[in-house]
Amino acid sequence: MHRRVLELRGQKLSQAQVGKQLGLSRGRVCNVERVARKAKPTWLTWVDRGGISFKHIEAVLTLVEPKADALLREAMAKRWSAATLREHVQVVKGKREPGEPNANPDLAWLESKLAEHFSTTVQIVGDRSGGGGELRLRYSDSETFEGLLERMGVSLV
């Protein structure tokens, strides 16, 4: 899919036009294009061969290349889901201890589901009173932010 998106964008079609042709949202086209341009060619080959998914590549884009490459290789070898890979990325970045999910198993499950849906790192933090909290969605650039908004049903047009 990423090759077709890049091919059509190379023909000077807008993201909306590419999305219409391929049956994708404009935000998804934007995200595919962004990830494909940032990914190493080797990683895209792994996607083409079915070793990993595009979501796996998205999960490691915030890491420096040797660590990202090593985690992707491990994900292929151990057949990790993209959500599992995102957890390992958090460990590498020092944001969580290995195997340390959200203390609340229900919230850990929900974080995983939301991370899959939004294709990004999700963190749910409750306040001490138990009455409120924060939902944090990680984005690395304006295109990713726009994609998140679109998945939430927010139109910027």
Local structure of residue 123 (DSSP, 8 states):
E
**Domain extent listing, the chain:** 103-157
For residue range 34-91, what is the model confidence (pLDDT) as tens digits? 888 889 999 999 999 999 998 899 889 888 888 999 999 999 999 988 888 888 888 7
- Phi/psi for 60 (5° steps) reads -105, 0
Q: pTM for the whole thing?
A: 0.59
